[in-house]
Structure 1
């Protein structure tokens, strides 16, 4: 038997081979660097994270993930206030010891009876033993011991103890430095070195109370990891409810976006300049021929502001890549998605998720009224096809089955539009590039906005959008973004469009521009659609597995993080969001 490979299959094979060669070269380079470069010193503050939770250390020091929550800012304010105090004996000192392999900035040094004593300041309360006596927390204890060892190694000073001030209950705890303390520091450094060389994240902490106080819980997703291994687990929602920052759409051609101080400056033709503080902006979306300065791009990257570009015709063009320190995440992604079996299993979930969502959306058209024969037939046939998806043996077969599901769905979708809707807004089959009717114009623009948001989530998490699990590599849209879009097409685009048409929200003349057999959204139409889409993203959806509610805007990022867990030993929650 002779196997015949289609051009698409050949392109995918070449793409996977290229990724494999790139990964192999990357790993060889890493090994070379490991053998031929001096090991960097470890931050003392990172040992504090290690003692608190090895997974926290790995996320911060290896994957370079950092968050700044209210507790972090409160700690910084405390140190700023201390620095303002006038005390001749108070001294802040930055030290490095190549011999010990440590570096760090000691909060303060004081001299008492000829002895040098390092001090550490903590905003919270101390630990209490069984007798209610004040004690240092284990992570704080290791940190002050590490500073004491660093002073001995770097300056040659004999250090007998360190002290920790817990400001919440105004307690000063003395921590003696003895041989056991020095050994604890050396053991921690060795453990940190081992974790730095590992490509696997440590498991979540056994003590779930630590997770509730951890600033990286939204990245780590410890409760979701526990739920994977124990479906009876009732998770506490540690993932943030919502990102309240604005998504700024610049729709007017010729608009210039720049930076002034700590603000983004938007200059529209014939209008006063608009200035928005950086901390209030989550994304900048530049439509048509608007421009952004290099200074503004650097500023957006520094503040984690996503920058995306959409053409005047409503087509997604690309995103500004602001990923930093995500090499380990991408290495694991390359390794996982180079496995055809892994890709097939995840792709099946995507097809089931989208197909079930489409079918249940069609089923809404049967509520309380007689459904058309086309609608009833499509619902039944989609159910039959969806039952066959788990037994599919190849991506090619899965693509064919998805095509049949899509044909049934779009063939029955016109049945959901009310008869009294204007003919110009009726739907008569899917078409694109360019769209030939108003319904398809809205679908195309909506999918472009969704693709932009999925890309924003992928870059936020730090994955590689060019390496997907289902869609084939194409010129414009990255495969991984197309994959993840499948989960949200129905709830974020299809459903709002049908609902807005049935409510009579669109003006066939004012909101659209028809040019021959091509139809585009006018500037007024784009504004109306963007407003509808962004409002939809603020609505909440209860996750069927975790059973907590989040806005769609948050669910986009959560779904990317759940996908990453699929190749991190904590899979099982990805692609479970199905329209009810």
Structure 2
């Protein structure tokens, strides 16, 4: 499976159009970039970017998704051609989403993957902590997540399961400050998870990276023929890609590690954010490009998949997990197993 590239267009007032079999990016009528279409799997536009109609048609014909986000990464729209996959797979998905026992088992495993991978982040941080106080906070947070993992089998319905996950998430984010280098904590202190809008710098950064991960998970779901709107953990709502959100859970810890790396290495600083009226804190300007480059580089890093015993780029993991989920829905495997980091 080839790892194709996602093109992120972030420069305001850019114009992207078709040039034979190439996508051309122009700013102020000057060509800034040319990309052969066969190298692309998706084009993501931030804010005020103009897209030619011939390019839209060509992207749809070529199976390349066009995603429109606002300037801060919030989803606006998605254009795509005919969806791949067969109707029998989607019929199975819709039928099993209505089976409480099956849906609960998939949801439980999605949360188990999230908690297990998040716990690894805290344990690694505890081992590498320079201050005993930080190590103690992280060790205690990891113990809290271990307790949540032990509680999952006893959750008899979806609401109870979400309650366990919600409390575990609160404990996880409470420990996250101890993973930020001491000199940056005043600027990036986190007081719990906040979104729509994010209320502090680290939440703004997390929300931005989560939006990138969400788009990749949705693409993976659609690429194997599943319906992104019908999930097992997240409640179905109009316009909500519930299954993509389900798949995303086990990968959130990877996004968290990227955010922490950007802060701790000084690639993102306090001056890269703006506070809007009402208290919303948003990532600004060139900082978004820094995050996008780091995210794309992270997708190229090789990891070992424990079920397949193969080394694959991180960017392929959502696609592999989506296919494993499809196998479960077809009845080829007994249950869906999330990706677990080592």
Matched with 2:242 is: 479
Alpha-carbon distance in structure 1 between the residues aligned to 2:208 and 2:72: 8
How far 1:475 moved relative to its partner?
4.8
SS of the residue aligned with 1:282? strand
TM-score by length of 2: 0.92
Greater per-residue helix proportion: 2
How far 1:306 moved relative to its partner?
2.0
Q: Does 1:401 align with 2:164?
A: yes
Kept in 2: contact 1:365–1:371 (CA 8 A): no
Alpha-carbon distance in structure 2 between the residues aligned to 1:320 and 1:425: 36
Question: Structure 1's 398 and 422: CA in aligned 2 closer, same or farther, altered over 3 A?
Answer: closer
* Gaps in structure 1 of 5+ consecutive residues: 1-239
Alpha-carbon distance in structure 2 between the residues aligned to 1:324 and 1:461: 7
SS of the residue aligned with 2:244? helix
Question: Structure 1's 365 and 246: CA in aligned 2 closer, same or farther, altered over 3 A?
Answer: closer
1:502-517 residue pairs with structure 2 within 5 A? 502-509=264-271, 511-516=272-277, 517=279
How far 1:332 moved relative to its partner?
2.1
1:38-53 residue pairs with structure 2 within 5 A? none
Kept in 1: contact 2:84–2:222 (CA 8 A): no
1:259-408 residue pairs with structure 2 within 5 A? 259-269=18-28, 271-272=30-31, 274-322=33-81, 323-324=83-84, 326-369=86-129, 370-372=132-134, 373-408=136-171
1:198-237 residue pairs with structure 2 within 5 A? none
Deviations 1:461-503 (A, max 9, x none): 1211111111012355311111011011111x10011122112
Alpha-carbon distance in structure 1 between the residues aligned to 2:84 and 2:127: 49
Kept in 1: contact 2:305–2:312 (CA 8 A): yes
Kept in 2: contact 1:352–1:386 (CA 8 A): yes
How far 1:256 moved relative to its partner?
2.3
Matched with 1:519 is: 281
Alpha-carbon distance in structure 2 between the residues aligned to 1:345 and 1:267: 49
Kept in 2: contact 1:316–1:449 (CA 8 A): no
Alpha-carbon distance in structure 2 between the residues aligned to 1:368 and 1:531: 26
Deviations 1:126-165 (A, max 9, x none): xxxxxxxxxxxxxxxxxxxxxxxxxxxxxxxxxxxxxxxx
Matched with 1:469 is: 232
TM-score by length of 1: 0.56
Deviates most, 265-274 or 388-397: 265-274
Alpha-carbon distance in structure 2 between the residues aligned to 1:284 and 1:361: 31
Larger Rg: 1
1:447-466 residue pairs with structure 2 within 5 A? 447-466=210-229
Deviations 1:305-362 (A, max 9, x none): 1221211122122322331463232122112222111100011101110011111111
SS of the residue aligned with 1:532? helix
* Gaps in structure 2 of 5+ consecutive residues: none
Question: Structure 1's 572 and 537: CA in aligned 2 closer, same or farther, altered over 3 A?
Answer: farther
Alpha-carbon distance in structure 1 between the residues aligned to 2:162 and 2:307: 27
Higher RCO (C-alpha 8 Å, min separation 6): 2
Kept in 1: contact 2:73–2:208 (CA 8 A): yes
Matching residue within 192, 196, 200 for 1:433? 196
Deviates most, 448-457 or 322-331: 322-331
Alpha-carbon distance in structure 1 between the residues aligned to 2:238 and 2:25: 31
Matched with 1:548 is: 310
Deviations 1:202-246 (A, max 9, x none): xxxxxxxxxxxxxxxxxxxxxxxxxxxxxxxxxxxxxx3x41x33
Deviations 1:423-456 (A, max 9, x none): 2123232111111221111100001001111111
Matching residue within 284, 304, 326 for 1:564? 326
> How many residue pairs get matched?
337
How far 1:303 moved relative to its partner?
1.6
How far 1:299 moved relative to its partner?
0.8
Dislocated runs of 4+, deviation >4 Å:
none
Kept in 2: contact 1:461–1:560 (CA 8 A): yes
Question: Structure 1's 485 and 274: CA in aligned 2 closer, same or farther, altered over 3 A?
Answer: same
Kept in 2: contact 1:361–1:579 (CA 8 A): no
Alpha-carbon distance in structure 2 between the residues aligned to 1:329 and 1:294: 33
